[in-house]
Amino acid sequence: MEKLTSLDHVLMPKSVQRTLTINNITTILEFLQQDAEKLSTLTKLNLSQILDIRNDIFTKFSAPVVDGPSLFALYKNKQRFITTGIDSLNNVLGIGIPIGFITEICGLAGCGKTQLCLQLAINCAKQTENTILYIDTKGDFSAVRLQRILNNLRFTHEEMARILRKIKVAHIWTMEEILELFKKLKDKSLTIHNLVLIIIDSLPCLLMQHFGDDNKIGLNYLNVLVNHCRFVCKNFGVGIVCVNIQTRWVQQDIADYEEEDDHVRETYVEKQTRGSGKYWQHIPAMVLQMEKIMNPDVETNKNNFPVKITLIRTNKMNLGQQCILNVGGAGVG
């Protein structure tokens, strides 16, 4: 809360502020909550002067007034989604990656999450003058992988250079470093022109350093990071994509004793859990689950395989929507 001492007004000299402080009125909010006649009695100012001070406070600290038609026009013309460049994935998401929100891509190791993020960065950069910030926390970002995808799309060397210039890469190794990065974006000490998409690949790599801490340092870092992300999303019109790992737990389950074949039948129950802790589970507005499709009759190629993408969390009606994509060294599509 702003202190009264920060209020620069000709009718509020230090003597008046001192009188108000003695009567436990030390902040601007407390000043506004007091009865005008009481303030007039305490400060020896007339009612019109008290009202002048209040009006000055409202002018200085209140949000600007916007009429309905102007607000609707602003909302209508504002970009609200980032197209992924993949039609089937856009259909699953509704239109595309929502601007102003956090979207999560999760899946087991080796299901193609990083390759999808690289494809999203290229597709976003090639269409407009948008800039993408790619935050690499694993140390495996490869410009060669990007170039291979661009070669497959048959871009010229000049077009490749233009696209690559618009993908800014930051190598981050600790939670402290990513918090510092978002703090610079927030206070505009770091400016990235036409920034529209931030990709964090991946979040658990930073959080796992703090798992099991009794002092909850990791949880505190995550909370601060989420607040920074939401601020950047809302105030700068940015969409954020976070990569999250999934873990697989297999539990043995013993069925009831069967008298006919005179043996106990054993079954196994598999449970898949999104990483990054319980707090994170409700943070993303949308969660896309990637799952490698295994066909026992076909030999699996580790460099080229189909994946099923399912929308498992959203506030819209398209929950459960799915699509099949092919992940390979030449990109995702």
pLDDT in tens, 172-198: 999 999 999 999 999 999 999 999 999
**Spatial distance between the Cα atoms of 321 and 92, rounded to a whole number of angstroms:** 5
Provide the pLDDT for residue 63.
74
Asked which of 20-24, 26-30, 62-66, 327-331 is least confident by mean pLDDT, the reply is 62-66
118: its two tokens = 């690289």
Provide the pLDDT for residue 254.
52
Provide the pLDDT for residue 77.
67
Mean pLDDT calculated for residue range 65-85: 79
pLDDT tens by residue, 254-277: 555 455 555 556 666 777 788 888
What residue ranges in 55-145 does DSSP mark as E strands?
81-82, 97-98, 102-107, 131-136
Task: Specify the DSSP class assigned to residue 96.
Answer: S
> Which phi-psi region, left, alpha or beta, contains residue 75 (left: φ > 0; alpha: ψ -120 to 50)?
alpha
**Spatial distance between the Cα atoms of 110 and 292, rounded to a whole number of angstroms:** 8
Question: Between 168 and 65, where is the model more confident?
Answer: 168
Domain 74-332 has CATH 3.40.710.10: no
Provide the pLDDT for residue 298.
63
Task: Specify the DSSP class assigned to residue 192.
Answer: -
Q: What is the pTM of this model?
A: 0.75
- All residues at 6 or more sequence positions from 104 whose CB lies less than 8 Å from its CB, including other chains: 241, 242, 243, 244, 274, 284, 286, 287, 288, 313
For residue 119, what pLDDT band results from cuts at 50, 70 and 90? very high
Asked which of 16-20, 81-85, 111-115, 293-297 is least confident by mean pLDDT, the reply is 293-297
Question: Between 160 and 329, where is the model more confident?
Answer: 160
Provide the pLDDT for residue 107.
93
